[in-house]
């Protein structure tokens, strides 16, 4: 655990360093904040007030020191604490990520299990085709198609915004589309190995029902590889749902960070990256700890 935590801290600092340098290479935010007729003195005064006149290493050291205290500064665009803006939009992103993950699992688990049980059959072939399509078609394109046909043509569901369950369905499907394919293939492969193991043959020999063998015993032991993917994809959904949030005008962290990038709002971008990095590391740590509960053999070792 200590080794994992240390690796996670290094990853967080590395992500901060990359976004810190990349943001400052993208241009001067003061140019977007001051009017076009502002003079050089106005630019210099604004840079000094924002601390942008200091050398980059000193800016990064100050930024890290403040970040350890949870202070990421004031947003240039919204004139509010950067982390406060991110935390206010975090519930919307959590809601969307959880819905996307539930959608992915509701499709991937039965499809992966049935593909393994009926290996080489019609269900297995359909699952392979679905998996290839899922990984070949990007989520934002699925989102645009859903908006075009479901929201515009059929007018069954709203196309944008956050509200009740009807607003959540389309972005959740678009966000969970890609994980379905990867989870299905992983669970199918794991189930094939488990179904050919000795203890499964023994359970069949003593006359246990096939449904109980597949869904009660084999599936539980096949979930260990899938648990890793669940954690990784959930973390990716939290930190990488910005495209879906922009497509569906979903008021989450990703959309806020995208708007901050275009406005060169350094504090908001950095706060969003820090939160995403921390969540990603924490989720992966929880996944590692969950192995012992999923597979008792790992806990015994």
Whether 85 and 256 have beta carbons less than 8 Å apart is answered as yes
Burial class (CB in 10 A: 0-12, 13-18, 19+), 176: buried
Q: Within 13 Å, how many C-alpha atoms sit on residue 189's CB side?
A: 11
Q: Choose among 224, 222, 270: nearest CA to 72.
A: 270
Whether 76 and 36 have beta carbons less than 8 Å apart is answered as no
Residue 252: which region, alpha, beta or left (left: phi > 0; alpha: psi -120 to 50)?
beta
Q: Is 291 helix (H, G, I), strand (E, B) or coil?
A: helix
Q: What is the DSSP letter of 158?
A: -
pLDDT recorded at residue 29: 66
pLDDT digits (tens, 9 = 90+) for 262-299: 877 778 888 888 888 888 788 777 777 766 665 555 55
Is residue 300's pLDDT more than 60? no
What's the mean per-residue pLDDT of the chain?
79
pTM of the model: 0.74
Q: What is the DSSP string of 244-281?
A: HHHHTT--SHHHHHHHHHHTT-HHHHHHHHHHHHHHHH
pLDDT digits (tens, 9 = 90+) for 31-49: 666 666 676 777 677 777 7
Q: Which residue has the tokens 């607003």?
A: 167
């Amino acid at each position: 655990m200590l080794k994992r935590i240390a690796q996670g801290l290094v990853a967080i600092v590395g992500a901060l360093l990359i976004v810190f340098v990349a943001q400052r290479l993208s241009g001067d935010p003061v140019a977007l904040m001051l009017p076009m007729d502002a003079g050089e003195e106005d630019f210099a005064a604004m840079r000094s007030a924002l601390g942008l006149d200091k050398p980059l290493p000193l800016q990064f050291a100050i930024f890290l020191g403040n970040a350890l205290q949870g202070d990421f500064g004031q947003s240039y665009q919204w004139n509010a604490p950067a982390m406060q803006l991110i935390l206010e939009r975090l519930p919307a992103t959590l809601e969307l990520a959880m819905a996307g993950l539930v959608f992915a699992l509701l499709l991937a688990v039965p499809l992966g299990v049935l593909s393994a049980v009926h290996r080489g059959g019609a269900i297995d072939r359909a699952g392979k085709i679905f998996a290839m399509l899922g990984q070949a078609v990007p989520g934002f394109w699925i989102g645009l198609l859903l908006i075009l046909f479901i929201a515009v043509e059929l007018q069954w569901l709203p196309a944008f915004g956050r509200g009740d369950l009807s607003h959540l369905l389309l972005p959740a499907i678009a966000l969970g589309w890609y994980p379905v394919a990867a989870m299905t293939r992983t669970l199918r492969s794991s189930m094939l190995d488990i179904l050919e193991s000795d203890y499964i043959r023994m359970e069949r020999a003593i006359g246990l029902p096939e449904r109980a063998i597949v869904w009660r015993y084999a599936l539980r032991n096949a979930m260990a590889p899938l648990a890793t993917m669940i954690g990784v994809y959930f973390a990716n959904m939290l930190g990488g749902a910005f495209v879906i949030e922009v497509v569906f005008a979903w008021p989450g962290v990703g959309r806020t960070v995208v708007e901050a990038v275009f406005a060169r709002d350094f504090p908001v971008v950095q706060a969003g990256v820090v939160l995403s990095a921390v969540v990603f590391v924490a989720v992966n740590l929880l996944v590692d700890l969950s192995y012992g509960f999923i597979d008792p053999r790992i806990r015994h070792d």
